[in-house]
Amino acid sequence: MTSARQPPDLNIQTKPVDPMVEGGAQVQQVLNIECLADFDEAPLTNIKFRYGGTLQNITLKLPITINKFFQATEMPSQDFFQRWKQLSLPQQEAQKIFKANHGMDSEVTKAKLLGFGTALLENVDPNPDNFVGAGIIQTKTIQVGCLLRLEPNIQAQVNGERHKTTQRICWYNNIHTLSYLHKHVRPVSHKLQFV
């Protein structure tokens, strides 16, 4: 049996599964997750089962962060920088500089940014080494426009990252999530789908 403990800003519906699992079999449970508002606390899932007659209880954090609700958005260079300049309030911007733990390969960086959920905007930044992205976070209550610039310094092996948003959201946690991806996660082929 599984259940999900959800933060108040997420609506999680679980579809029931058969309570008996034969030895060597696998069970898949579908979770429908709706983002009601900005959140920074990951939902938990509880898995209860009997093994050798003893009740087992495992609690796992689900890998659900606000960027799972991104809709990638394309825009021309002029629109990007016009919006970038308009988002000038301190609560609309987050910035982080971090050291790269792995080589700074542009194809790997592109894959990580696309995996984060933004659209990569080609030929937008005057510096061809920079990465520029845009997206909209879809929640039930509001849509939040998000802009991203990643400025790698290959000589110093550091990245400077800036996010700007139309509404104050949990960028503090998400900029740390993205910088963690750049520093520690090697690219792997995977696909997660959230509704």
Tell me, what DSSP letter sits at residue 103?
-
Give the pLDDT score at 131.
87
Give the pLDDT score at 151.
81
Q: How far is CA 114 from CA 26, 50, 110, in A?
A: 30, 40, 6
Give the pLDDT score at 184.
39
Give the pLDDT score at 72.
92
User: In the chain, where does DSSP find H-type helix?
Assistant: 77-86, 106-116, 171-184
Q: Which of 194, 47, 178, 158 has the alpha carbon at shortest distance from 115?
A: 178
Give the pLDDT score at 93.
78
Q: At residue 95, what are phi and psi to the nearest 5 degrees? A: -140, 145
Domains of the chain: 2-61 (2.60.40.1230), 66-184 (3.30.310.10)
Look at phi and psi of residue 182 and say left if phi exceeds 0, alpha if psi is from -120 to 50, else beta: alpha
| pLDDT per residue as tens, the chain (195 positions) | 566 667 788 998 888 888 788 888 888 888 899 988 878 788 888 888 888 889 989 998 888 888 888 899 999 988 988 988 888 887 777 777 777 666 667 888 888 888 888 899 998 888 888 888 898 888 888 888 888 888 877 665 556 666 566 665 544 445 444 444 444 333 333 333 322
Helix (H) or strand (E) holding 65: none
Give the pLDDT score at 161.
61
pTM: 0.69
